[in-house]
Chain A
Amino acid sequence: MIDYLVAISIIVGIYAIFAIGLNLEWGFTGLINFGHVGFLAIGAYTTVLMNQSGAPIWLSMASGVVLAAFFGLLVGIPTLRLREDYLAIVTIGFSEIVRLFLLNEEWLTRGPMGLFGFDRPFEAVIPFDYNYFLFILVFGSLAVIYLLLEKLVHSPWGRVLKSIREDEDVASALGKDVFRYKIQALMIGSAIAGLAGAFLAFNMQYINPRNFIPMETFYAWIIVVLGGSARNKGTILGAIIVQSFYTGTRYLQDYVPLASHQIAALRVMVIGLLLVLLMMYKPQGLLGRKEELTLGQ
């Protein structure tokens, strides 16, 4: 039983990290990033490929994070000066191109067959069930990231991000170089997603392009919106709830006369409905403050 909970918790932790990166971009800075999964993929594949070519696992992981941040920069440069909705459209395109690349460049990624057979940190030396170590690694990282982000977000730098979210024109009028801050937020968020990608790889011990479809981005979105955007605690809560929902519905099959693909579809429908209802009636999510959002324009 404990083993099972540990296994589930690891997934919660990975999604929490993934979503917390998005929360920085969307919750604090107001960037509509619909391509977040692309950076997850870059983190995962870079980690695995580098390790399989002989690099030590920690270096591979670091490279995954750095490369994800770098792609955040590349994507940001042409798009962050554009209107927010253009960013949404282009970022979806970006993550799909990444997925298509992973699917088709078989010489590099083995395409749909995916990759397996790579090291995991300290695997050789852990005497007990590796999952326990992975749990510590993931939640330890989550804790560190959480603390760092909280510090950043409550600093003058975070203040500028919030002002950009509220009204870019004001931020510019006060002398802030809006573009630079947006790029920084996107790069940090992408780096965090890259780290989540590495952890994803360690957890599943096998990655293939199907793990990196746009739906993953929208899982991050529901986690952030549900928890209350701009509330990092809420994001973690959101991850717990969404993952519990996901795992819980897996068992529905035993009690309900529905095929597994139908349950999967129903699951996504519920998430879609939740997104619609939240944005319509409770946009501040679970932990957001209502006063903040009834203040309209």
Chain B
Amino acid sequence: MLQLIVNGIVLGSIIALAAIGLTMVYGVLNFANFSHADFMTFGAYIAFVLNVALGLNIILSFFIAVAIAGALGVLLDFLVWKPMRRKNADLVSLIIISIGLSLIVRNAIIFIWGGSTRNFDLPVQRGIEMLGVTITHNQLIGVGTAILFMVMVHFFLKNTKLGKAMRAISDDINLARISGIDSDKVIMWMWFIGIGLAGVAGILYGLETTIRPNMGWFLILPMFAAVILGGIGNPYGAMVGGMVIGLSQELSMLILPSEYKMGVSLGIMILVLLFKPRGLFGGTKT
């Protein structure tokens, strides 16, 4: 069972990282972005190309891939999301567009790299054995990096002007605009950071498991569950929500067949929506 807890922490930190970007978009732009998970996959594949095809070392590949992912987020804001904001598009149109984008990204990856699984070019290392539990190097790196980024996000939100502006917009976009905040610019940075974080999460997930086209989409339900559990628009809630979901899914193997892990996320989500729709920590939306 201890092993399950370890695995749960690893999975949870990945979900938590990805959920931060998802909850920010949800809170600020007020829609559920179904393509978010596929940017995790995107990040992993870009890092893979840099690392394996171009031979760059993993750390460099990591940072370049994350930057590219962030850039893609900004590009899409410019091409798709901003024009839709101008049109005052309704919630449903945005959701359907995000589904379209998710299909495009995921299948572009299949088109280019095919459906088989890939791996980063890293030496195989033995894990650490402790208390009857195996922790692989990749898992340690994964959790460590995730925590590092979460701390960076916290610092950013609390202490930088941009971070505070993001929180203001998340609470009330009109009020924020009146106070002089350039919402378009802040939103652009939000996409950069949100999608970039998705890229980070994807790379870590690829490290922990393997790289395959459905890897992100596979986590879409747990990600949404984390966001809803933590309160929509609440990045800290998303972090905690992610950990809870990750742990619950792994620990559920004690009583459920492992194939139904996803059902755990769904179940938690439904319970939250029925009994505490604002999430455990209260989001910015009802």
Contact = CB atoms under 8 A, between A and B. Distances in A.
Interface string B72-105: 0000000010011000111111011101111110
Interface string B245-265: 000000000000101101101
Contacts of B262: 93, 96-97, 100
B269 interface: yes
Given A82-B273, A265-B107, A271-B103, 9 more contacts: A78-B270, A88-B34, A97-B260, A100-B262, A261-B114, A261-B115, A262-B111, A272-B99, A276-B104
A85 interface: yes
Chain A interface mostly = helix
Interface in B1-42: 31-32, 34
Rank and list the top 4 A-B pairs by shortest CB-CB distance, nearest first: A272-B103, A275-B100, A93-B266, A276-B100
Interface in A85-123: 85-86, 88-90, 92-94, 96-97, 100, 103-104
B163 interface: no
A210 to B, nearest CB: 13
Contact of B110 (A82, A88, A265): A265
A97 B265 CA distance: 11
Interface in A267-287: 268-269, 271-276, 279-280, 283
Nearest to A86: B273
A275 B99 contact: yes
Nearest to B100: A275
Contacts, number: 118
Interface range, B side: 35 or more
Contacts of A86: 228, 273
Contacts of B259: 100, 103-104
B126 to A, nearest CB: 33
A265 B102 contact: no
Given A261-B115, A280-B83, A97 B266 contact: yes
A93 B100 contact: no
A89 B221 contact: yes
Contacts of A257: none
A60 B228 CA distance: 39
A96 B221 contact: yes
Nearest to B114: A261
A27 to B, nearest CB: 11
A202 interface: no
9 contacts: A32-B92, A84-B91, A85-B31, A88-B95, A261-B110, A262-B110, A264-B110, A276-B80, A296-B88
B108 interface: yes
Nearest to B92: A32
Interface string A130-168: 000000000000000000000000000000000000000
B220 interface: yes
A30 interface: yes
Contacts of A296: 88
Contacts of B107: 265-266, 268-269, 272
A280 B97 contact: yes
Nearest to A273: B104
A296 B31 CA distance: 18
A89 B106 CA distance: 19
Given A93-B221, A93-B262, A275 B103 contact: yes
A185 interface: no
Contacts of A16: none
Contacts of A100: 259-260, 262-263
Contacts of A268: 103, 106-107
Nearest to A268: B107
B212 to A, nearest CB: 13
A42 B263 CA distance: 18
Contact of B92 (A84, A264, A276): A84
Contacts of A89: 32, 221, 224, 228, 269
Interface in A208-235: 215, 218, 221, 225
A53 interface: no
Contacts of B282: none
Nearest to B109: A265
Nearest to B105: A272
B277 to A, nearest CB: 7
A78 B273 CA distance: 9
A129 to B, nearest CB: 36
A213 B110 CA distance: 17
